[in-house]
Amino acid sequence: MSEDNPGLLDGAIAPSANRHLFGHEEAEAFLAQSYASGKGHHAILIEGPEGIGKATLAFRFAAHVLSHPETKLAPSLMSDPDPDAPQVRQIASGASHNLIHLARPYDEKTKKFKTVINVDEVRRLGKFFGQTSGTGNWRLAIIDPADDMNTNAANALLKILEEPPKRSMLLLLSHSPGKLLPTIRSRCLQLKLSPLGDEAMLRALANLGISLSGAEQGQILAAAQGSVAKALKLINYGGFEIIRAFQDALGATGPTQRRLFHKLADVLSGKDSEVIHDFFMDHVGEELVTRARQAALAGDLARADVLAKLSQDIGQKIAIADGYNLDRKQTILSILEQIG
């Protein structure tokens, strides 16, 4: 990850500075036309898998709104942000007084992100909306992702949603909208984005300077499942090697399996392993869900139930380990032994 932007994957462009979005033309048109009509919603929940462009869409729409503060004069289509426009430059540098971006805080001491967006972060949002814009422009907030809010933060946000300030707009991003309070979802306009198709994926990767061809192209597109973020983890973080090591370990037995488990756990718990650790845990979850679905389709409901419960148990273990800063290697070994 970048030292200047610790949350940014190697090879990625920060959503606030990304001038191009691929594969979501219909969503862009809907947002622009809704805004131009003057009947746009004050809170929009942008849903979809991680890494498909939700944040880039949110920042593009924020730039569109702040560049065209009068809805009647706003174009009904969004164009790529002009890098020389003052509003766009301010958004890209994080210096806009009319836009706030909430995410899990980064702790400079531990060099890690906090596990949640807490209530103090949402209180910042309340103060932000309470201030009067010096230009009379809109005030926008991007919560990225809203799934990371803890209970107190979610309740504080709910109060803002219930009584939204004038000329304000909230853009909530969500990888898993089921994690959000139903009362939050009900107060938002839900905009669902789909994983990128192969053509959009190739264009998005080309925008990052990545060109794929032959067998590599097919492998990465299949494994990335329409997520540019997942593709970057496969290409730049050794994701394929981790998946192969996992499969090799599952195929082994006895002392050989234990040795491979320890080797894999060492890699996943090493220094600067946050990205590949999270990638692996996501992969394990997807693997178990796939196995459970296959078992159910085969009529083995007992097996499907065991796998579903195992997936839940592992998710809880990861959350507890992260929340209490438990020994990561031991957590990983425990998970591997459960699956093996």
- Identify the band that residue 4 occupies on the pLDDT scale cut at 50, 70 and 90: low
Could you tell me which of 258, 84, 55, 303 has the C-alpha nearest to residue 172?
55
Tell me the residue type at 215.
A
- 6-34 confidence digits (pLDDT tens): 689 999 999 999 999 999 999 999 999 99
Rounded CA separation 195/135 (Å): 37
- Give the DSSP H/E element, type plus range, for residue 294: helix 274-297
Q: What is the pLDDT of residue 112?
A: 79
Q: What is the pLDDT of residue 108?
A: 81
Rounded CA separation 163/197 (Å): 39
Instruction: Name the residue ranges covered by the structural domains of the chain.
Output: 25-192, 237-339
Q: Give the architecture (CATH level 2) of 25-192.
A: 3-Layer(aba) Sandwich (3.40)
- Contact assessment for residue 150 and residue 118, using Cβ atoms and an 8 Å cutoff: yes
* Edge-to-edge strands, sheet with 99-102: 99-102, 139-143, 168-174, 43-47, 189-192
Q: Which SS3 state, helix, strand or coil, does residue 170 take?
A: strand
Residue 116: both structure tokens together = 């949640």
What residues pair up with 174 in beta bridges, in sequence order? 47
Q: What is the pLDDT of residue 136?
A: 78
Q: What is the pLDDT of residue 325?
A: 80
Rounded CA separation 21/76 (Å): 17
Decide if pLDDT at 132 tops 70.
Answer: no
Q: Which SS3 state, helix, strand or coil, does residue 134 take?
A: coil
Rounded CA separation 91/96 (Å): 5
- Identify the band that residue 93 occupies on the pLDDT scale cut at 50, 70 and 90: very high
Average pLDDT rounded to a whole number, residues 211-228: 94
- On the question of a cis peptide bond just before residue 164, with omega within 30 degrees of 0, the verdict is no
Decide if pLDDT at 2 tops 80.
Answer: no
Residue that the structure tokens 């650790």 belong to: 277
The Cβ of residue 251 has, within 10 Å, a number of other Cβ atoms equal to 11
Residue 137: both structure tokens together = 């422009």
Q: What is the pLDDT of residue 205?
A: 98
Tell me the residue type at 318.
I
Rounded CA separation 198/183 (Å): 36
- Identify the band that residue 134 occupies on the pLDDT scale cut at 50, 70 and 90: low
What CA dihedral angle connects 92, 97, 98 and 101, to 10 degrees? Answer: 60
Could you tell me which of 328, 309, 329 has the C-alpha nearest to residue 320?
328
- 111-130 confidence digits (pLDDT tens): 778 889 999 999 999 899 98
Tell me the residue type at 57.
L
Torsion over CA: 305, 306, 311, 316 (sign) = positive
230 contacts: CB under 8 Å, gap ≥ 6: 50, 51, 223, 224, 239, 279
CA distances from residue 70 to 38, 65, 73, 75, 137 in whole angstroms, order as listed: 9, 8, 6, 10, 9
Rounded CA separation 285/291 (Å): 10
Query: Mean pLDDT of all residues in the chain?
Result: 93
Rg, C-alpha atoms of the chain: 21
